[in-house]
Structure 1
Amino acid sequence: MNDMYAEKIIIVEGTTDKRKVQSIVKEPVEIICTNGTISISRLDELIEYITGKDAYILVDADAAGEKLRKQFIRELPEAEHLYIDKMYREVATTPEHHLATVLLAANIDVHAWFLDK
């Protein structure tokens, strides 16, 4: 985690997910990778860091992603959960247009050209 001044934090699973989301998002947003799993100590550290910021959970629509999502629902109930269509399965392979629509629906500013596709 770094000391960005972003008030919004998006939590994703991997670095490819992070790069994909970064390319779409227009406003300053911090994107944090869990690398697929998250330890209790790392989760506690993350919860403390996120306090007072808008947190969004964007994970894959697969078994591992759902397991991670359930952990965040228990431990970080104030976070908003963003869902990609199950047919895409992974955030990294989700078409930019769909991902931009999901992010925009959560009031995250995206580059307009991703909505035109």
Structure 2
Amino acid sequence: MTKKIRIEEIIVVEGKDDTKRVQQVVDADTIETNGSALSQETLTKIEHAEKIRGVIVFTDPDFSGEKIRKQITEVVPTAKHAFISRKKGEPKRQGNSLGVEHASDETILEALRNVSTPTTDVFQSEIEIEDLIYFGLIAGNNAKKRRESLGEKLNIGYTNGKQLKKRLKMFHIEKEAFKKAMKEILEDENNE
């Protein structure tokens, strides 16, 4: 058996199933939020963990997961974030909810290798709303699919159209990196 990769930071997940799944893949400690209504006690624990070892927020790619990310980012703006796409978090059995616990070993490893850290530094993004419209990320038949692909390519997770510009700025995505990712996405679409 190969030795598991050790993750120094404490990984913040939503529940026991996520902890179990992550620990099957890597050697890591976790903090479970136990739902999207984070208690002050849990937020304090996450804040302390960030000071001691750092934290990686690794929540489900859904509304609740995003809500948790926002709450943690308000208290711990330096927390790192790991993302999986909705597609890679789909359950094998119908009726189960979307989540980290359904991701493959490789998906979990890839997400933890490609963590992103939002910054509070002043960053003047050159990506304008017009760019998002031009690349069909806000309106149109393929907008949602393109935002999902962009979030995966840039390791910033999925966002709705309203939040995309803010997320690109938060993770300091340069216009050239944005354009390169969009070029690849459009090429992939043309090859389908």
TM-score normalised by the shorter chain: which range applies?
0.7 to 0.9
If you compute each CA radius of gyration, which structure gives the higher value, 1 or 2? 2
Q: 1:98 aligns with which of 104, 107, 116?
A: 107
Residue 72 to residue 86, structure 1, CA distance change in 2 (3 Å): same
Secondary structure of 2:31's counterpart equals strand
- Percent identical: 30
The two structures, once aligned, show a CA RMSD in angstroms of 1.8
Deviation of 1:35 (Å): 0.9
Unaligned runs of 5+ in 1: 1-5, 107-117
- Indicate the structure with greater strand content: 1
Residue 32 of structure 1 aligns to a residue whose secondary structure is: strand
The answer to which structure, 1 or 2, has the higher relative contact order (CA under 8 A, 6+ apart) is: 1
Task: State the alpha-carbon separation in 1 of the partners of residues 41 and 17 from structure 2.
Answer: 24
- 8 A contact 2:12–2:58 mirrored in 1: yes
Task: Give the direction of change, closer, same or farther, for the CA distance of 1:104–1:7 in structure 2 (3 Å limit).
Answer: closer
Aligned to 1:8: 9
Give the structure with the higher percent helix: 2
> Mapping of 1:53-68 within 5 angstroms?
53-68=53-68
User: Structure 1 CA distance, aligned partners of 2:83 and 2:39?
Assistant: 23
TM-score by length of 2: 0.47
Name the CA shift for 1:54/1:48 in 2 (closer, same or farther; >3 Å): closer
> Are 2:53 and 1:44 aligned?
no
List structure 1 runs of 4+ shifted beyond 4 angstroms: none
Instruction: Normalising by structure 1, report the TM-score.
Output: 0.75
What number of residue pairs does the alignment pair up? 99
Give the equivalent residue in structure 2 for 1:33: 32
Give me the whole-angstrom Cα distance separating, in 2, the residues matched to 1:46 and 1:103: 18
User: What are structure 2's unaligned runs of at least 5 residues?
Assistant: 1-6, 90-97, 116-192
The separation in 1 between residues aligned to 2:30 and 2:42, in whole angstroms, is 15
Cα separation, 2, equivalents of 1:49 and 1:105 = 20
Q: State how far apart, in whole Å, the 1-side matches of 2:49 and 2:105 are.
A: 29
SS, match of residue 68 in structure 1: helix
